[in-house]
Structure 1
Amino acid sequence: MVRLFITTASHPPAVARGLPIELECDANTTVADVKALIAAKFPRFYPARQKLSMKNDRAGLADEKKIIDVLGEKGEELQVKDLGPQVSWRTVFLVEYGGPLLIHPLFYHLPQLWYGQDVQHSTLQKFVYGFVLLHFLKREFETIFVHRFSHGTMPLRNIFKNSAHYHLLSGLALAYDVYRPKFSATSSYITGTIREDKNFLWICTGIWAFAQLSNLSTHLTLRALRPANSRVRAIPYGYGFTLMSCPNYFFESLAWAVICVMTGSLAAGVFAVVSTGQMVLWAVKKHKNYKKEFGKEYPRGRYAMIPFIL
């Protein structure tokens, strides 16, 4: 048996006033099992709120690690930190993408409320409205049925920060800009220009649909690599992955670039730049992690996100 002493670096959290405690574990006990034992004594201190680490070490221990491999047979003191109230990543994504799905119909169908006048929607506005709703409905579908998350939860307070990007930029700012009278069917910005040319609009639609379907395809490939309820990582192959480590980000950026070209909207441009910039950072980090984890097995010649450039 391994004897563990569970302490805290400072005062015990409000959800576990009885700390420190002593636990006994067998050779097969994992970090996740220890968290469950702590939660059994302090029900409000559920496992997702806990971060277990070695004494005086900030790095958290992976849930799948066996205690005996980490500490040895004699056991040792472990410190637990309260990460605060948690919310599942699935819920976070549903809230993030749900914002634009509510905001865009409000601006599109109630122009009097925002602009003080009715708006005769142009074909361009109708296309963009459809693109936005379909994009975020797709993201909600993927969140429920496709994505598998390596981390189950995140701090509840972060949901507001994460949602602001979508609710403010692709929600309020984009909706207010593209459904206003400037883009209406009677506006000089639209009439007599390429923005009312049906050939132009349908070409843009084709590129946008290609990007969206390609993005979905890469998400399905990534799903197939990870068994349910696991953190297994493997090298992705197939459509899109021949040239890029993160083709899903490339295709999503392409879809938003199409909306920028179609509309010339400042709000669309700002959102596209901000979101693409964030995806570039994620892609570079994932690309480096792939090469570090798989070494020589990882295909040479792949770019992080943009073929032949980045």
Structure 2
Amino acid sequence: MKNEMRNFHSLSRLVLSACPLPPTAAVKHAKAAHVEIEVLDAHTRKQICIVDKVTQTSTIHDVKQKFHKACPKWCPSQIGLQLECGGPFLRDSVTVHSVAGSSILTLYFTDLGQQVPWITVFLAEYTGPLLIYLLFYLRIPYIYDVKESARSSRHPVVHLACACHCVHYIRYLLETLFVHKVSAGHTPLKNLMKSCAFYWGFTAWMAYYINHPRYTPPSFGNRQVLVSAVGFLICEAGNHFINVMLSHPSHTGNNACFPRPNYNPFTWILFLVSCPNYTYELGAWISFTIMTQTLPVGIFTLLMSIQMSLWAQKKHRIYLRKFNSYMHRKSAMIPLIL
């Protein structure tokens, strides 16, 4: 009897070692574990609500949706969640598993205010200057003296400046709708108001002087106008081709590769700078300043050059971290200078 029990025990151990039972139930249970999220006010640290039954694989976007159901007065786009007060806001794509150290997670809530989609911001920024400039160009009543406007004849540069200005912003609008991959995210309404105030205000200031009945044409006459107009159109074309190339990375290789020049001569500037779209944008506004020879346009160009240089340097640093081998002797925006 003992020998039979010993043989049975040995056979059982042999079977179990050869075919171990997969611990699928335990793994599935661990993956399906839920996290309880306590949401506190970032300013008062008072509890707002508890979001329960959140799985480990859920994202912060899913948490915001559940938060919105618990507190309908806050839309998901208005909800800012942080791991600690004063810390960075968690991105919607972050998973709960990556930030939760246990089954209980505490997040701090900040009301981001009224939000608007990015596409709305860009369309408002570019549509306003286009329409505002045309109002001054048409010299509608109450802007200029009617009698003075009727007596004075316009210099050809006034018509050319209007055409160039319209081309610039129409290109912006078409690229926003059909070329750029605009983020599906949102931004505070105050950012939209600041951007519109900047672009619309400067456009009104520039258009008022350029289309004024007493406007003085450039000092060097038609030669100055024509040379600057050619430079403006070249920069506009270059900016467009660069934007098209950047929106279709498959044309230049892998998505993880730094954009490389192709057969188009307008893309060859990539040999010298890492952000050629800002280079062409700056060149276009410098050309427009020379063409019109007005102080408001010069001030606008100066401010835009400062802002674009900051954007370009930030993007250049990102490129240096990702594609250091491609960035040899390249500048951010202006070859050999910046």
Superposition TM-score tier, normalisation by shorter sequence: 0.7 to 0.9
Q: Equivalent of 1:214, from 223, 238, 242?
A: 238
Q: Specify every segment of 5 or more residues in structure 1 that has no aligned partner in the other structure, as ranges.
A: 184-188, 227-231
Q: Equivalent of 1:134, from 139, 145, 167?
A: 167
Percent identity, aligned pairs only, is 30
1:109 aligns with 138
Q: Equivalent of 1:182, from 198, 214, 220?
A: 214
In the alignment of these two chains, the number of paired residues is 291
The residue identity in structure 2 corresponding to 1:235 is: F
Retained in 1: the 8 A contact 2:59–2:94?
Answer: yes
Q: Does 1:58 align with 2:78?
A: no
- Shift >6 Å, 4+ stretches: none
Tell me how far apart the structure 2 counterparts of residues 164 and 233 of structure 1 sit (CA, whole Å): 37
Tell me how far apart the structure 2 counterparts of residues 215 and 77 of structure 1 sit (CA, whole Å): 46
Q: Specify every segment of 5 or more residues in structure 2 that has no aligned partner in the other structure, as ranges.
A: 1-32, 262-266
1:20 aligns with 49
Retained in 1: the 8 A contact 2:40–2:106?
Answer: yes
Tell me how far apart the structure 2 counterparts of residues 113 and 153 of structure 1 sit (CA, whole Å): 38
**Per-residue CA distance 1:169-209 (angstroms, 9 max, x = gap):** 1x1110011111233xxxxx449x632x2x55333322211
Change in Cα spacing, 1:133 to 1:120, as seen in structure 2 (3 Å) is same
Retained in 1: the 8 A contact 2:37–2:105?
Answer: yes
Correspondences of 1:154-193 after superposition (within 5 Å): 154-169=187-202, 171-183=203-215, 189-190=216-217
Give the C-alpha shift of residue 111 in structure 1.
Answer: 5.9
2:107 aligns with 78
Retained in 2: the 8 A contact 1:147–1:223?
Answer: yes
More displaced, 132-141 or 237-246?
Answer: 237-246
Tell me how far apart the structure 2 counterparts of residues 38 and 79 of structure 1 sit (CA, whole Å): 12
Change in Cα spacing, 1:23 to 1:52, as seen in structure 2 (3 Å) is same
**Per-residue CA distance 1:137-172 (angstroms, 9 max, x = gap):** 111112222222346111112211111221111x11
1:296 aligns with 324
- 3-state SS of the aligned residue for 2:81? strand
2:220 aligns with 194
Tell me how far apart the structure 2 counterparts of residues 201 and 110 of structure 1 sit (CA, whole Å): 22
- TM-score normalised per structure 1: 0.85
More displaced, 146-155 or 98-107?
Answer: 146-155
The residue identity in structure 1 corresponding to 2:327 is: P
Tell me how far apart the structure 2 counterparts of residues 225 and 40 of structure 1 sit (CA, whole Å): 39
1:146 aligns with 179
Give the C-alpha shift of residue 55 in structure 1.
Answer: 3.3
- TM-score normalised per structure 2: 0.79
Give the C-alpha shift of residue 81 in structure 1.
Answer: 1.4
Give the C-alpha shift of residue 256 in structure 1.
Answer: 1.0
Retained in 2: the 8 A contact 1:68–1:75?
Answer: no
Retained in 1: the 8 A contact 2:224–2:290?
Answer: no
More displaced, 251-260 or 60-69?
Answer: 60-69
Change in Cα spacing, 1:120 to 1:44, as seen in structure 2 (3 Å) is farther
2:119 aligns with 90
Retained in 1: the 8 A contact 2:235–2:284?
Answer: yes
Give the C-alpha shift of residue 303 in structure 1.
Answer: 0.7
